[in-house]
Amino acid sequence: MYLNTELPRLEKLALGVDVVYTAAQFADATLFMISSQHFAVPQGAMLELLGRHDYALDIQGDNTPSTPSQQHQLLSAGQKTFEGLVKYNVLRLRPYSDWALDIPLQAYSGPPKLALVTPPSALAPYCLKLMKPDLLLLRDMETQLSAERLLLLLAARAKDSYVMGKLHK
């Protein structure tokens, strides 16, 4: 009964929501979550994963943050996307509770009161596992499109610098 409502809802949200998150960000977040133990990941790790999409667009070359300010920039880049995924009920923040027995205390990194990122419902991990081939395809298509955009951008810059070089001679 719930499968008839949860799976179509997640499949619709997987296509992305304009200005909030892309299909690749949805795929990365959900694949990361369903591949983790207990279907739960630390919030900082999720912010870093989502921030890599926007952060990689802002810089060239190595997109591994090395300074604390770059690390902060990476986390803040993922914050807007993360908030959108929570708002659209794709992800959920789950604080530690002594009453909950399905996720052990060891899964919570840092202070025990820090929340974990989990699926929005108990049925969502099952539905996301059913969607896994499509999620992998969405993620790979977005990566390929990003690479093509980057090549076009580099080609345009090379053309512009060539034209500017000819004008200065």
- The residue range of the domain holding 110 is 3-168
Q: Are strands 41-42 and 92-94 parallel, antiparallel or unpaired?
A: unpaired
Rounded Cα–Cα distance for residues 148 and 53 (Å): 15
Residue 149 confidence (pLDDT)? 60
Rounded Cα–Cα distance for residues 2 and 23 (Å): 24
Q: Does residue 34 surpass a pLDDT of 50?
A: yes
pLDDT tens, position by position, 142-155: 766 665 665 665 56
Residue 60 confidence (pLDDT)? 46
Query: What pTM was estimated for this model as a whole?
Result: 0.72
Residue 14 confidence (pLDDT)? 83
User: Count of domains in the chain?
Assistant: 1
Neighbouring CB atoms inside 10 A of 7's CB total: 17
Rounded Cα–Cα distance for residues 35 and 117 (Å): 13
3-state secondary structure of 21: strand
Q: Does residue 1 surpass a pLDDT of 50?
A: no
Residue 140 confidence (pLDDT)? 80
Residue 114 confidence (pLDDT)? 67
Which residue in 58, 53, 114, 116 sits closest to 80, CA to CA? 53
